[in-house]
Amino acid sequence: MATNVYIDGFNLYYGCLRGSPYRWLNPATLCRLLLPAYSINRIRYFTALVHERPGDPQQPQRQRTYIRALETIPNLSVHYGQFLTNAVAMPLEKPIPGNPAFARVIKTEEKGTDVNIATHLIFDAFDNDCDIAVLISNDSDLVPPIQALKERFGITVGVLNPHRNPSRLLRENVDFYRPIRRGPLSASLFPDRITDANGPFTKPPGW
């Protein structure tokens, strides 16, 4: 049965990739390992372009290199939200008497991914593009479109969860649930050197 996979890129990254040796992840290989009985029709990867940060000016370059690797997967498309960075005043948890109660911090927010995922879930259902929809996420905000897919379109919905502590609400509203473990992650890495239409490139240093 035709299966579409919808990946919340930041949810995946902060759930099981950040600080790990698995950041150079090939999601197509991961899907084949975790869904061996399913025919993967398409993979939609949702993310937002990050900005330079004072302590990590190379972060945008690493992300662009990774997206370049993703774009070598024939049935994968990348969909962008927005990544907002602002300096804001935040209250201190335990201010010292006589000192300021607020501090200015750099606040980063990713906007649009859950809406983009929900939109493509519904569009693909209307287009009869898949029989099964699989989400790589732990975001319970996706429960309403999941319910619509099941109730209005009769689509089977599953979750591959990158987080140790799954959302109870999300788990209760899908037809199947599987955690993403280290074994499949370690077996799903891109080769260190990849070639696309623009020539060869390598994974970012330290990855």
C-alpha distances (whole Å) from 138 to each of 121, 179, 207 are 16, 10, 24
The per-residue pLDDT for range 46-79, each reduced to its tens digit, is: 999 988 877 788 899 999 999 999 999 999 999 9
pLDDT of residue 85: 61
Fold of 2-81+112-202: Rossmann fold (3.40.50)
Residue pointed to by tokens 């209307």:
126
Interatomic CA distance for residues 107 and 89, integer angstroms: 9
The more confidently predicted of residues 138 and 110 is 138
Interatomic CA distance for residues 52 and 136, integer angstroms: 26
DSSP characters over 56-77 = BTTHHHHHHHHHHHHTTSTTEE
User: What is the helix, strand, coil percentage profile of the chain, to 5?
Assistant: 30, 35, 35
- Cβ neighbours of residue 86 closer than 8 Å, sequence gap 6 or more: 106, 107
Interatomic CA distance for residues 88 and 80, integer angstroms: 25
pTM score, two decimals? 0.89
Interatomic CA distance for residues 120 and 111, integer angstroms: 16
Which DSSP category does 205 fall into? T
Mean pLDDT of the chain: 92
Q: Is the pLDDT of residue 187 over 70?
A: yes
C-alpha distances (whole Å) from 173 to each of 143, 146, 159, 182 are 7, 7, 10, 25
pLDDT of residue 40: 98
